[in-house]
Structure formats: structure tokens, C-alpha cells
Amino acid sequence: MDQYCVMGNPVAHSQSPWIHARFAELTGQSLHYGRRLVETGGLVDALQAFAAEGGKGCNITVPFKFEAQALAQRTSERALLAQAANLLSFEPDGIFSDNTDGMGLVQDIQVNAGFNLRGRQVLLIGAGGAAAGVLGPLILAQPAGITVANRTRSKAHSLVERHTPLAGLHRVTLQTSALESVPGQFDLVINATVSSLSGAGSPVAASTLKLGALVYDMMYGPAAQDFMAWAQAHGAQARDGLGMLVEQAAEAFAIWRGVRPPSAQVLAELRHHLAQGTDRTPR
């Protein structure tokens, strides 16, 4: 059986093994997908060990996405722009890296949530690894403009600067902003910070929300609750990042296996199981 896994720290509560097992079951693919806890400084050894055991590829999660990207011999354009990888494949001539997070986000917003990004005004809050992973694919969806607001303005500047040629190509206006003085109003506000974890509600003012705006937290579960509650309290639609998690996995599965799994079905199942707290072991 072909072996895959997710590597990170922590990984104990990762939903990826269940998601990939369910994809495999529904598409008739024969594979095993596990999880590996990697200690700080241990990524190279963990990758070598997994490849030596016959591993075909792995997903990479916090805090190793930057290091994983730097280790690759061959990379996709989107991982190069993000400077971060969430997928590695072991190939005969070395490691190939990719980043499926942004596509996962765009797919969840456009297909699962039915929100067309074309021509819209988007506010992306944050300029760390999570934001870097999604800015390129957001540009490719051709919104009218994207404002990147971050606590540390210089990080927003360098992220925007790196994406300016791509934005020019797709006629998307890119700009940066401070959190406390975001200019304008937005159809879509995406939280790519960890601010909800500190119970801070929202890092930006409610005046940024257009009537009926979609507000998206890239996290899910308790980590997304404060931001989503803030959005709902101000009349916006709120969506957590569970769909992004399933869609980035679906894209990884398609890259590895050449088959696109029924991601909307698996998302519905996962949401149901998480809400019920039921056993998610695939049959």
C-alpha cells in the first residue's frame, strides 16, 4: 500500500488522516495516510526516514512549512510565491514541493460557499505563513482588489511586493494597511491571523464590512469562534476554515493519485462528525 502522512508539531489532532482515508475509500484508491510528530530541527531526518520506508509524499503543517519549501529540489510556482509548502512528493530526482492551501481556500469560498470572488473587494488580515499561502491563488480568482492588513506593516509590504507582478497580470489592485485604519469596505474579510486564539474578537473594525459581507476565518473549531461571533454580531455571514482544510487535502490527493475526490461530501461528513463528537474511523 502506498504510504503518505502529515508531519508537524502538534499533529495529534490533525483531521488529515481521516480525510485522506475517506477520500481513498470513496475513490477506490489503496493507500495509508498516517501522522508523524516532528521535533524542532528534525524535519530532514523525518523526511529521509519516511522516504526510506517507501513513503510517497507527505503534507507539512505548522511549524515546518517554510523549512519544507527550502528543502525541495523542484517546486510549483504557487509554493515559490508563498515561500512555504504544505505538500512534498518524493520523486526519483528529489523532493517536489507544492502549496495547496490557497487553492483550498478559493475552492471553499467559490464552490462550497457559492461566493464568486471576481470583481470583489477582499481584505486579508495577517501576513504570516497562513496569509502567504493564499495570496497568490486569491489573485488568480481576479477580485477587483486585495488589501493586506497586518499588525507589523513591513511584513504586509514584503508579501504584497512579492505578489505585485502576478496582481498586475490579473489586473488586481494590491495594497497594504495598518489594522486600526483599514480604508474602505469589503465584500470578503479573511482572518489569517491567530488573533482569535487570544480571545480578541477581530483585529479590524466592523466598519470594514460591506452589507452582507462574507467573513472567513482560516481556522476552525474553538480557534475560529471569537472572530466568527464578531462577524455575526455585525450582520455578516461567517465561515470557518474546515472547508479549506478538506479542499487543500482534495487538491493534494489529486496531485498524488490523479483522481479528484468528492470533497463536498467529505466536508459535510466531517462537519457532522465534529458537531456530534462521533467516531470518524472510516469503514
| Residues 153-182 as x/- pattern, contact with ligand ATR by CB under 6 A | --x---------------------------
Edge-to-edge strands, sheet with 87-91: 31-37, 2-8, 55-60, 87-91, 94-98, 74-75
Output the smallest distance, CB 121 to ligand ATR, in A: 20
Output the smallest distance, CB 21 to ligand ATR, in A: 26
Name which position in 73, 152, 164, 265 contacts ligand ATR (CB under 6 A): 152
The set of residues, in sequence order, having a beta carbon less than 8 Å from that of 7 and lying 6+ positions away, is 35, 36, 38, 43, 46, 47, 50, 58, 59, 60, 61, 64
CB 187 within 8 A of CB 122: yes
Stretch that binds ligand ATR, among 97-105, 108-116, 189-197, 238-246 (CB under 6 A): 189-197
Name which position in 57, 104, 126, 143 contacts ligand ATR (CB under 6 A): 126
**Cell numbers placing 209:** 464590512
Helix axes 242-257, 16-27, angle to 10 degrees: 50
Question: 22 or 61: whose CB is closer to ligand ATR?
Answer: 61
| 134 near ligand ATR (CB under 6 A) | no
Question: 192 or 246: whose CB is closer to ligand ATR?
Answer: 192
CB 1 within 8 A of CB 55: no
Question: 64 or 256: whose CB is closer to ligand ATR?
Answer: 64
| CA dist list (Å): 213 to 123, 189, 192 | 11, 8, 17
In the residue annotation, 56 being an active-site residue is answered as no
Binding site for ligand ATR (CB under 6 A): 126-131, 150-152, 155, 192-195, 198, 200, 203
